[in-house]
Amino acid sequence: MINSNAYRKYLTYLAMLVFLLSLLPILYLAGIDRASGDDWGYGLLTHRAWLETHSLSKVLQAAFLTVRNYYGSWQGTWFSIFLFTFQPEAFSHEMYWIVPYIMLGLIIGSVSCFLYQVTVRFLHMAVRDFLLIDMIVLFLLIQFAPSKKSSVFWYNGTAHYTVPFAISLFALVCFMRFVQTWKPRYVVWAAVWMTFLGGTNYLAAIFGCLGFLFLGICYYKRSRKVLWMGIPLVLEVIGLLISALAPGNARRGGETYEITAGRMLWAVLESFRQGIAGVMTAGREHPLTLAAMIVLAVILWDVFRETAVKENLKFPLPGLVIFYFLGTYCAMYWPGIFAGVEVSGGVPNTIYWVFVLMFLCSILYGAGWLSVRYSSAAGDKKNNRWYLYAVCVMAALFILVMGRSNIKDSTDYYCMEYIMTGQAKDYKEQMEQFTQLLTDDTVKDVVLPSINDWQGPLMHMPVTDNPEAWTNQKVKEFFGKQSVVAVPREEWQENLIKN
């Protein structure tokens, strides 16, 4: 009979194959992806500096000036704004394809580093088992992020949400490496990551802060050296305060914006209510994610039966720890509730990503505790736990039957639908024409053929027939025109024929 190690090996190969194939539709659309909306506004000064000087120092000066302008007029997330200024089309109109590659690389790199640290270095799992867990989790994070635009494709959205999420995980990895080695360089790297994190979106900043507090509490008794990680934490809080107190936040929030203790407490209670409601409805809203977690729970129970007792692992206070993970997830609702404004598409992405990671951490801790408590010291020498993998098959059937409608929510489904209907090809041709018309130095008042604002997983904020519209103004400024308007494509073609 094939033992459970062999089963997991085959599952790992299958998971790796499925994950790699799932990236192909996304990477195909990378060549069609283009800048839009806020990309034009935030990249304006750096674009001008690059065109005029090709000097990196001048570009950096333009970036800092952009941060200062927006800090006082619109928002305080200073490091996010700094990243916004480096949108690829600020340097070349043919460079935007790199955005999906960068963001996929950050998601894969940060999550893999985090899970490797937890599973292999802390829990002493085999690398093969880490890869199996990693492939499943990465598949969920990339495929079922609610906003496809702000997770992978749109630079402005990804720079504000995907990049900070990756930064928070890199910072946590530095903390975990520090408590294993006590090498000062990990404090330095954590300080860099956490400082940047304080100037990004508030969800990622809170996630990083709560992660540091959890690790600090866990390892304080082991050595007082862990207090050195208070330096990165303080730096993040300072950066967060600088961001929160920006004059632009008050202007953006309007007359109802205020920072009071009562409002903060109400937001905390409401975030718990919404977070618990989100957990309760996970089976309906994310059936494939829930089913995948069932599979992971079975796999981890099997793995821990082999390693937990042998490695003398400890899992104290499971109820309290899992409640902390729940609280971390609920805390992701807090910034949006406190601000009281409509949130962007990146917010649901971060909430979902943290949900998956905290769910996984709860399963890891719970399965570990159960294994230590109930496994035999011998660790099941027969090692033929085929029945556990029968549960995996049943869970897979549950995925196919109960979650088939959820497949349409996947990134691959959006991408394939966009490609197969011919819309991707049309958009590529139209955007090449768009750029050609706007980069014609002989024309100052540009008339563009209209482009549909719905572009599947890609972000596109269309130029309209109103020259004073926000997008029109940003495109006009970015390309150095006197005016930019759009007319129906049929009308534009008729005028072209007449002229």
Lowest mean pLDDT among 57-61, 145-149, 305-309: 305-309
Q: What are phi and psi of 448, to 5 degrees?
A: -110, 145
In 3D space, the residue among 168, 206, 201, 251 whose CA is nearest the CA of residue 84 turns out to be 201
**What confidence score (pLDDT) does residue 377 get?**
44
Kindly list the distances between the CA atom of residue 179 and the CA atoms of 213, 227, 281, in Å, as whole numbers in the listed order. 14, 10, 37
- Which amino acid type is present at position 438? L
- Please give the structure tokens belonging to residue 256: 């109802």
> How does DSSP classify residue 105?
H
Q: Does residue 398 register a pLDDT over 50?
A: yes
Note the pLDDT of residue 298.
84
As a whole-number percent, the residues of the chain with pLDDT over 70 amount to: 90
Taking a C-beta distance cutoff of 8 angstroms, is the pair 199, 77 a contact?
yes
Q: Say yes or no to pLDDT of 162 above 70.
A: yes
pLDDT over 90 (residue 400): no
For the CA atoms of 153, 157, 158, 160, the dihedral, rounded to the nearest 10 degrees, stands at 170
Residue 211 confidence (pLDDT) above 90: yes
pLDDT at 130 over 60: yes
Q: What tens digit of pLDDT does each residue of 295-320 get?
A: 888 888 888 877 776 777 888 999 99
Q: What is the per-residue pLDDT across 7-41, written as a single tens digit (0 to 9) for each?
A: 788 889 999 999 999 999 999 999 999 999 999 99
- For 42-48, what is the mean pLDDT? 97
Of the pLDDT bands very low, low, confident and very high (cuts 50, 70, 90), residue 129 is very high
Cα separation, 65 vs 59, in Å, equals 10
pLDDT band at 282 (very low <50, low <70, confident <90, very high): confident
**Of 1-15, 16-30, 215-229, 461-475, which gets the smallest average pLDDT?**
1-15
Instruction: Report the pLDDT value the prediction gives residue 378, as an integer from 0 to 100.
Output: 41
**Separation between Cα atoms, residue 160 and residue 217, nearest integer Å:** 29
The model's confidence at residue 373, banded by pLDDT at 50, 70 and 90, is: confident
Please state, in angstroms and rounded to a whole number, the distance separating the CA atoms of residues 233 and 166.
17
* Identity at 473, one-letter amino acid code: Q
State CA 41 to chain mean position distance: 22
Cβ neighbours around 194 below 10 Å, total: 31
Q: How far apart are CA 174 and CA 82, in angstroms?
A: 24
Question: Residue 420 above 90 pLDDT?
Answer: yes
| 448, 432 contact by CB (below 8 A) | no
Question: What pLDDT digit, counting tens, does each position of 383-394 carry?
Answer: 455 666 676 667
Q: What is the mean pLDDT of the chain?
A: 89
Q: Which residue has the higher pLDDT, 493 or 191?
A: 191
Whole-Å CA distances, 304 to 126, 173, 292, 401, 422: 11, 22, 18, 29, 49
Burial class of residue 410, CB neighbours in 10 A (0-12, 13-18, 19+): buried
Residues sharing a CB contact under 8 Å with residue 152, sequence separation 6 or more, in sequence order: 26, 99, 100, 103, 104, 107, 142, 145, 158, 162, 411, 457
| pLDDT class of 177 with cuts at 50, 70, 90 | very high
The answer to whether the CB of 372 falls within 8 A of the CB of 300 is: no
Q: State the average pLDDT over residues 397-410.
A: 74
For 431, the token pair is: 């955007």
Tell me the three state secondary structure of residue 245.
coil
Q: For residue 286, what are its two tokens?
A: 């994310």
Distance CA 241, CA 239 (A): 5
Q: Which helix (H) or strand (E) holds 33?
A: none
> Quick check: 370 pLDDT over 80?
yes
Backbone angles phi, psi at 222, to 5 degrees: -70, -45
Q: What share of the chain is helix, strand, coil (3-state, %, to 5)?
A: 75, 0, 25
CB-based contact 236:244 (threshold 8 Å) = no
Q: Does 2 or 219 have the greater pLDDT score?
A: 219
State the pLDDT at residue 406: 78
pLDDT over 50 at 1, yes or no: no
What whole-number distance in Å separates Cα of residue 458 and Cα of residue 28? 12
Average pLDDT over residues 158-182: 97
Predicted pLDDT of residue 379: 45
